[in-house]
């Protein structure tokens, strides 16, 4: 007789981990990177994202325990996550770096401004900021669950007290441990309505560095008392709030371990995090392919060291299959004990039990309201009006302005040659600036001619000398810390442009999207009357809100509508 399956029993059950072989147990400790797009020819990062055939082998044959996804639309992700779960031997942890909402990584869902925008609101109204942070957590968790993500690699609890930090920057809630703690805990509270996993990162604190660990190993020289007071405080608060996982940082902290980065340090992960702070949840490494680790340790050495240090989850090892073999060999030779592996499996199983229950409850809710479960009706929680309104409110409440605003219509209509000069990091990978983006469309309606500068623009300053002499310019700068750049923004190019425009009396107004540290560098140069708008967000809604303030909504409504 064939098996009978209930219409609702579509979520795989979890076997007893004790029944797994050593290789299967270790494979459950590995999380691999995959593209959120459905087809191989859409893969954006082939060095990191495996083909469908390779991915299926890892999940089906090796029994890898989780996947981290990037790219594609939210609807594609719903299909992709279901495909991955179907391939897998056992239910997967499916993770994503969605610190700014699901829409940050997967188009169509709600995209919030970065956490520091909420921190800016806290400077004026802490209660309102906590409400926003809790709403961000709840909306992010609900939308993640709807598309099959069960593990949020958020919130960031680093205290960004170094303006030159190239990788944390606006991803942090604030520059003080008190505000970071309160807002991170509010975010975690919000997620707990939907029972997805949360992650506090990057332990024991990546905020006070000027080196990007994606490229090299940052070194922290602070005393133990300073680290306890500042860096560790938000982690303590997150643990008390019930955070499910903590991600290690690739940092060398000489006070605690003069030899090994935190990710590979038993003193940091076991002695400090497990024993001293009493954390009982999952310890996950930051991506092991990052330069801070990959440039110093072999692809099969780092995973063994991380497990030995106390890590439960190996995130994005350079060679998943080799990593599994290396850890198994370390067990067989006695370098690692079986008890060490079993302790991690118990924690992984506890986390998986939680998200399996949540997935089944989600399916049951959809079936109860729609009569059956499908990808289409599962997507109904995405980008709801209330969620979009919350994101817009955070943008508005965190925005700052100065100078003579708004620009009077006559200052625009009387100018025959107006220029909209936009500076971005790399236009080729820019997910917030398309042909219909407000930063392009709204100035065009008012007669501005577009000029775009990015890292590919040849000799950008020299090429603009003549134009700068005569054309009144709206300067829009998209600057924030981003991984792999190695600096906190394109400020050298931007600073030169600001200086030249001011020298030639050609700067009509400036809009900065992203980093408040960039704005602080420009403000001393601006005449008091020069209009400026600053937004933490870079997404189209941030552009729309900023430019409505700059031009006034009435000016924009009176322009001719362009059909693109």
Which candidate, 141, 74, 199, 139, places its Cα nearest to that of 391? 139
511 assigned to some structural domain: yes
- Tokens describing residue 53: 């055939």
| φ, ψ (nearest 5 deg) of residue 364 | -65, -40
Q: What is the pTM of this model?
A: 0.92
Secondary structure of residue 451 in the 3-state scheme:
strand
Whether 429 and 358 map to the same domain: the answer is no
Whether 179 and 290 map to the same domain: the answer is yes
* Set 212, 244, 257, 286: catalytic member: 286
What does DSSP assign to residue 130? H
Whether 472 and 524 map to the same domain: the answer is yes
What does DSSP assign to residue 13? P
21 assigned to some structural domain: no
Which candidate, 437, 405, 396, places its Cα nearest to that of 420? 437
- Tokens describing residue 82: 């279901």
Whether 367 and 404 map to the same domain: the answer is no
354 assigned to some structural domain: yes
Contacts for 367-374: CB closer than 8 Å, 24+ residues apart: 367/7, 367/8, 372/7, 373/7, 373/8, 373/10
Which candidate, 391, 366, 433, places its Cα nearest to that of 140? 391
b/e burial code for range 477-494 (CB count within 10 A of at least 16 → b): bbbbbbbebeebbbbebb
Secondary structure of residue 173 in the 3-state scheme:
coil
Crossing angle of helices 385-398 and 115-122, rounded to 10°: 60
Whether 139 and 221 map to the same domain: the answer is yes
What pLDDT sits at residue 564? 37
Question: Which H or E element spans position 422?
Answer: strand 418-423
- Ordered strands of the 199-203 beta sheet: 199-203, 245-248, 282-284
CB 91 within 8 A of CB 66: no
108 assigned to some structural domain: yes
Whether 101 and 237 map to the same domain: the answer is yes
Whether 463 and 371 map to the same domain: the answer is no
- Ordered strands of the 66-70 beta sheet: 151-152, 93-96, 66-70, 30-35, 314-315
Domain boundaries, position 323: 97-377
Whether 347 and 421 map to the same domain: the answer is no
What pLDDT sits at residue 563? 35
Is the torsion defined by CA of 540, 545, 548, 549 positive or negative? negative
Provide CB contacts within 8 A for 231, sequence distance 6+: 158, 159, 177, 204, 205, 207, 208, 222
CA distances from 110 to 9, 52, 298, 481 (A): 30, 28, 39, 21
Q: Which of 347, 377, 407 is the last residue in one of the domains?
A: 377
82 assigned to some structural domain: no
CATH number at residue 545: 3.40.50.10870
Whether 371 and 423 map to the same domain: the answer is no
Whether 306 and 365 map to the same domain: the answer is yes
Whether 412 and 481 map to the same domain: the answer is yes
186 assigned to some structural domain: yes
Question: Which H or E element spans position 452?
Answer: strand 448-453
CATH number at residue 289: 3.20.20.300
What pLDDT sits at residue 429? 85
44 assigned to some structural domain: no
Is 286 assigned a catalytic role? yes
Question: Which H or E element spans position 226?
Answer: helix 224-226
CB 264 within 8 A of CB 296: no
CB atoms within 10 A of CB 89: 18
Query: Read out DSSP for 236-268?
Result: HHHHHTT-SEEEE---EETTT-SSS-GGG-HII
Is the torsion defined by CA of 554, 559, 560, 564 positive or negative? negative
Which candidate, 241, 132, 220, places its Cα nearest to that of 168? 220
73 assigned to some structural domain: no
Query: What residues in the chain have per-residue pLDDT under 70?
Result: 1-10, 366, 368-376, 459-470, 482-491, 553-564
Whether 360 and 427 map to the same domain: the answer is no
What pLDDT sits at residue 216? 83
Tally of domains within the chain: 2
- Tokens describing residue 478: 């998209």
């Amino acid at each position: 007789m064939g098996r009978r399956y209930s219409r609702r029993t579509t979520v795989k059950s979890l076997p007893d981990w004790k029944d797994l072989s050593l290789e299967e147990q270790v494979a459950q400790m590995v999380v691999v990177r995959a593209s959120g797009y459905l087809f191989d020819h859409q893969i954006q990062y082939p060095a990191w994202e495996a083909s469908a055939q390779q991915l299926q082998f890892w999940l089906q044959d090796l029994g890898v325990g989780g996947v981290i996804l990037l790219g594609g639309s939210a609807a594609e992700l719903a299909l992709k996550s279901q495909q991955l779960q179907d391939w897998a031997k056992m239910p997967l942890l499916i993770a994503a770096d969605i610190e700014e909402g699901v829409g940050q990584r997967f188009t169509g869902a709600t995209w919030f401004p970065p956490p520091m925008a909420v921190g800016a609101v806290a400077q004026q109204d802490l209660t309102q900021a906590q409400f926003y942070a809790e709403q961000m957590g709840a909306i992010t968790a609900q939308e993640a669950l709807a598309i099959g993500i069960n593990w949020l690699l958020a919130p960031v609890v680093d205290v960004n007290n170094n303006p030159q930090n190239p990788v944390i920057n606006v991803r942090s809630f604030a520059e003080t441990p008190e505000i970071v703690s309160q807002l991170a805990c509010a975010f975690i509270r919000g997620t707990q309505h939907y029972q997805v996993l949360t992650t506090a990162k990057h332990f024991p604190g990546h905020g006070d560095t000027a080196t990007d660990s994606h490229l090299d190993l940052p070194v922290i020289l602070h005393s133990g008392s300073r680290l306890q007071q500042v860096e560790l405080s938000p982690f303590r608060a997150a643990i008390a709030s019930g955070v499910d996982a903590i991600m290690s940082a690739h940092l060398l902290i000489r006070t605690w371990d003069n030899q090994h980065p935190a990710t590979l340090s038993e003193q940091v992960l076991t002695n400090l995090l497990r024993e001293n702070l009493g954390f009982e949840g999952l310890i996950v490494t930051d991506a092991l392919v990052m330069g801070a680790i990959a440039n110093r340790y072999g692809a099969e050495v780092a995973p063994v060291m991380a497990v030995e240090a106390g890590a439960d989850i190996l995130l994005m090892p350079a060679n998943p299959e080799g990593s599994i073999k290396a850890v198994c060999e370390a067990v067989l030779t006695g370098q690692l004990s079986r008890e060490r592996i079993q302790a991690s499996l118990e924690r992984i199983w506890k986390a998986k039990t939680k998200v399996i229950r949540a997935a089944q409850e989600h399916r049951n809710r959809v079936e109860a309201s729609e009569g059956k479960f499908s990808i289409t009706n599962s997507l109904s929680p995405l980008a709801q009006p209330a969620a979009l309104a919350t994101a817009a409110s955070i943008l508005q409440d965190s925005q700052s302005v100065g100078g003579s605003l708004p620009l009077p219509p006559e200052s625009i209509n009387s100018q025959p040659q107006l220029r909209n000069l936009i500076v971005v990091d790399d236009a080729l990978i820019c997910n917030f600036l398309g042909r219909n983006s407000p930063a392009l469309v709204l100035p065009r309606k008012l007669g501005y001619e577009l000029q775009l500068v990015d890292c590919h623009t040849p000799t950008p300053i020299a090429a603009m000398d003549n134009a700068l002499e005569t054309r009144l310019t709206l300067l829009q700068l998209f600057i924030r810390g981003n991984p792999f750049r190695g600096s906190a923004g394109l400020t050298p190019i931007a600073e030169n442009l600001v200086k030249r425009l001011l020298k030639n009396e050609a700067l009509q107004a400036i809009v900065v999207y992203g980093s408040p540290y960039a704005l602080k560098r420009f403000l001393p140069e601006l005449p008091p009357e020069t209009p400026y708008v600053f937004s933490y967000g870079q997404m189209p809604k941030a552009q729309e809100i900023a430019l409505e303030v700059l031009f006034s909504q009435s000016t924009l409504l009176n322009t001719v509508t362009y059909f693109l």
